[in-house]
Amino acid sequence: MRKLISIFIVLLILAGCNAENEELSYSKVEVDSTNKLVQDFITSVEDENGIHLFQLDDNTMYVFLNGYIVEQGSDASFFSKFVVKGKDDTLNIYFDEEYTDDYANKILNNKELYKINLDKTYQFVRPFKNDIETNFSAIYASGK
């Protein structure tokens, strides 16, 4: 019995250590690899250029950068950088948007989806386009 209690205590300590070691991370993901809620979100905003935020749950959010819609005579936009940094109670999202008149270039990243794994709860989320603070085009939450 004493050995069982010791094992239980060690497991409890290890579980506590793992919870404290959560790190803020992000990665580019394909829409097809996400669940239906995220796919429905993308479908609802894909006709509007901009930065779109989707809070899936307390630990996960998605950012959809869309520059796919190009007005005739305008340059096409694409995205070249994406970085997420947490500071105190604020999550900062940085991305670079660039422009080109090469509409046929299939390599341009004009639609990107990023998954952010949160390390804690943030009170504020601030987007920065080309290092200048901007606004989200849309903000959604899953309601879970």
Q: How far apart are CA 56 and CA 61, in angstroms?
A: 5
Q: Is 19 left (phi over 0), alpha (psi -120 to 50) or beta?
A: alpha
Q: What is the pTM of this model?
A: 0.80
pLDDT, residue 76, reads 78
pLDDT, residue 144, reads 59
pLDDT by position in tens, the chain (length 144): 444 343 444 444 444 444 444 799 999 999 999 999 999 999 999 999 999 999 999 999 999 999 887 777 678 788 889 999 999 999 999 999 988 877 666 667 789 999 999 999 999 999 999 999 999 999 999 875
| Token pair listed for 121 | 């709860």
pLDDT, residue 65, reads 95
User: Which residue from 79, 141, 143, 91 is spatially nearest to 116, judged by alpha carbons?
Assistant: 91
Q: Are 49 and 69 in contact, with CB atoms under 8 Å apart?
A: yes
Sign of CA dihedral 75, 77, 81, 87: positive
pLDDT, residue 17, reads 44
